[in-house]
Amino acid sequence: MNAMPPPSSLTTEQLATLPAKELERLAMNINPGGWAVEKGRPISTLLGSCVSVCLWDPRLKIGGMNHFLLPSRSATNADDHDVILAGDYSMEVMVNALMAKGASKARLVAKAFGGGTIVTSIGMAIGERNADFAKEWLEREGIPLVAADLLGAWSRKVIFLPGSGDAFCRRMPVTQAQALQAVKEEKAYEQSLAKPSGKRVELF
């Protein structure tokens, strides 16, 4: 049996015909707090309370995906600035990375996933806050949200195809091993956000 060629050598049409498991194997995985911009290679992530936004420029056929968390606590002083703006920073840095590769903000369309209500120590209704933030940010920036799968009592596996703008979302009950892994990773991410960074986030 011939080995599957590397993702960079597959066309958008070829990727579209692959089963989800093969796409997941070929995809670049991003962890909580991460983001990626690609032209051909699929991008994937596992979501619990966090949200991923996929942005796509249909003319250039280039896209990006992020994975962010809005902490449940409120800012009380300047040291919390980095924490509270985690979602803003994640969105801004991805938009700027797309524009650096020639994408136009005016052409971008979005798909959003996640914000599940799962049992973690992150706090009450954090998934709902993440989902609300994503929708409000996109509306404020004038980027159409063309598809979404948000909230609910489950985690999600998301695969995004930057070449076509297609996204595949698989819901998973929180009892599954992958769902528990999402809880573990997002808890560690939330704890890292709570640590003082010694610097301010500067938005673009």
Q: What does the alpha-carbon distance between residue 11 and residue 135 come to, in Å, rounded to a whole number?
A: 31
Helix/strand number for the chain, H first, E second: 6, 9
Instruction: Compute the residue count for the chain.
Output: 204
Q: Is 50 a catalytic residue?
A: yes
- Closest C-alpha among 91, 86, 81 to residue 138: 91
CA angle 102, 144, 71 (to 5 degrees): 90
The active-site residue, picked from 30, 37, 50, 150, is 50
State how far the alpha carbon of 136 is from the alpha carbons of 4, 91, 157, in Å.
41, 12, 23
Q: What does the alpha-carbon distance between residue 54 and residue 42 come to, in Å, rounded to a whole number?
A: 11
- Other Cβ atoms less than 10 A from the Cβ of 57: the count is 22
- Closest C-alpha among 108, 120, 115 to residue 149: 115
Please give the positions annotated as active site: 50
